[in-house]
Structure 1
Amino acid sequence: MASFCKYHPSQAAHFVCERCDTHLCPECVSLREHKLYNTIKTAHFCPICNIPLQSLGVGHLIAPFWTRLPQFFLYPFKGHALFLIIAMAAVGIFLGNSILFLLFSTVILIKYSYAALTSTAQGRLSPPELGGEMINADISPAFKQLGLIAINAFLFFWIAQSLGQAPALIFLLLAVLGIPAMIMILACSNSVLKAINPLVFVPVIWRVGWPYLLMYFFLILLYGAPSALAYYLFKLLPDFLARFLTMAGQQYYTIMCYNLMGYVLLQYHEVLGYQVNYEDFVSQLPVTKKGCAANNDKPLTEVDILIKEGKFDEALAALQRELQQNSQDKELAGRYYKLLKAGGKQQELINFAPDYLKILLAANDKKTIRQVYKECLKLNGKLPLPAEALYHIAATLNKEGDPQSSLAAYLRITKEHPKHELLPDSYFHIAKLLNERLGKPEQAREILTVLIRKFTNHDIGRAAKAYTEGL
């Protein structure tokens, strides 16, 4: 039964924590990379318990086969599958009576269909390509499948001769019912002996349960479809066209049957002991705007989870670790600042404020600069900041329509950094604020007079002189 992420109820869960029994989607897990035999591997950890997660399996993430029957009918019409069907049917019109062609076409069809089965079972839902890799692949699976049918036929006749018709019919019913399971076991194990062993394929049917019988019902319908199609085609169409469509129909339904069996194998791969690579499967999933977040959003999601679970200190620690690796990330820094403020951790907030303001200044986030600076001053009037930061904060406050706070910031430079090279510029801006924004031209004139006297040959002295003349 499908389950959903605890924190994103519309998203299917990919993992479960065996300790806290929390189901999580990929957006909510904590990723850790480690090196194994010179290969970088990614491990998935529970953000709450900090232990490795258990994968729920690929079959948990896909739609049940009975809900996607139209896709099975469309499968042979895609890509190289359609090309193979048309090519083999076209050649079959001219060579259809040749024994060699019949043998060759049967082997090619079974080989391609088997490739479609194994490809689908690995989560690749488009037909395999007719490239060199497929052509040069081991041909033995095709002959092994033919061998399955031959062995079952031989056993049927042997039982009929040795034990009579009734046991033979019972065997035939069991064998026919088990053929799909045998083919899937052959795909898993590549062993004919395992595939025909009732102790192997009967438990497989039992473990899959009623969905196996439903699949078998569809396969029976598909198996009989080519004969029904041929009956009407030869009545209604010219002989050559009817032959072409009949052969194309046989190949079409064969490929569809194997695609269906491959999908059932994918859906129940854990029950059947078939290995599907989770990372390869997930990499093929379509990316949607409402899907799981990108990896660079993961720290924020982990923090959300920890907060929801009441683990406030762990959330702060997680953000702090991430900030050590991404020290200029404004979003991470903003989240860390807000958590410190929400948790009432005033000293940590004051300690972090200079770094956060530096990030905000680099991002030119004027509104947030004003908010953070004033909040921190309210908590601690002696918020230590370098002269450069104070100078830019003062300019930002002035642009944000807060001349009083801007003046206070410039004055802090004159008191806390009296020998800094920005001191003359700070005094000049103080004079301008007093004259232009605060309606105190006389105080402005006094400051400008001092600047002109002390910095006669300096650019700021000449600027002060020119500004004074305009008062």
Structure 2
Amino acid sequence: MNTPTIVPFWQRLREISLYPSQTGALITLVVLSLARVLGLLPGVGRIVTLLVTIALYKFAFEILRATANGSMEPPENTLDMDESVGRMGVLLQAAFIVMAFLSFFIGYLLFGDAGLFFGLATTLLLLLGWPGACMSLAIDQNFWHALNPATWMQIMSRLGWPYFLAYGLMTLIFLSAANAQALLEGFVPLLIGLPLFYFISGYALLATFHLMGYLVWQYQDELGFTPDAAPLPLINRNADPDQFILDEVAQMVRDGETDLATDALRAHLRERGGTEAVHTQYRKLLRLKGDTTELVRHGKEWLPMLLAQDREKAAVELFRELVELDPSYAVTDAESNTRLANRAAALGQTQLALRLISGFHKRHPKSADIPQMYLLAARLLSERMGKDAEAKALLTQIRTAYPNHALMPEVDALTKLIDSLGAKKPATT
């Protein structure tokens, strides 16, 4: 199988850490965190807590599988994964805890006081095997296969050092979450602290499961994993007007006729156009073939279509993919450039927004959006990256080039804010 060019996970650490802050994941996490308060109710509290935990794990496994299939957005259609996966996830964690305790007990029976080292060694192995077990459960939905140590060992051996690097990152995420909880403990009342602490631990859980899914996506060949031919998380398949071609292509893929399926979709798009599902499926097949040239060509053609349909979030993700495939790519239309930059900034994709703004005045010298774009860049540099000097330089350029512009009050206000924050910083010696 020809795999697409995939950015290594260690080059996407920021995106991985911010994954749970995307709207779909954030809303789910907030709702579950608030529901956790119901665990304080007498009588039914433990049942509610268990149900909330099961729901969180189900969503985490959905994230893992969606990411493993190449989707970098939280799943919105969560009907594909059986409800029992959440319960199996909780049981899997419980089984690992029980095995850890048993290892100390068995070690004591076999080796006496020296059994402590046996228990510690076994627990370390269990901790290292936990990501592999989770990946196995999300992909196969087979509890006993995921619980089998041979499964973890096989995944570790196939991935090699990237597995252990990812494990280290997961440990760092959980330690950071625990540290945040410790810092807040004692400062907030129970009714606020309980959902807040659950939110922090849930955020860490979703980030790590996304990382595990990305590990599967990046090393699909080594793991022998074939991603779904057409993951369409935002599409109602029953209502898609192009369902007939999607069904035909799905059958071709199942029959191993990937090239024929790609040609069929290409012909359909050229002759009739297509829904988002058709475009998404086409790009999925191109990635499987590793056809970078056609991915770039099609992406440039599809991007304005997404913007015309006000699908700005999808357009931003497509732009990100395009610049990863072709670093020289730039949006040639000023209005599209402005919309993408604003949307990328709103989505928290600061580097991508700054890339869209960089050189904007050269690409679009007649655009009325130049002051607004560079004011946005100044805000991003100061507020999100702490680069106050660069932000002030941009603000000075705006003030010099457009002294009478309507945005001058905002330029002055941001300048004063940066100056006031700079004045509060302790002087370095």
What is the TM-score when the length of structure 1 is the normalising length?
Answer: 0.45
Greater Rg by CA? 1
Q: Which has the higher helix share?
A: 2
Q: Which has the higher strand share?
A: 1
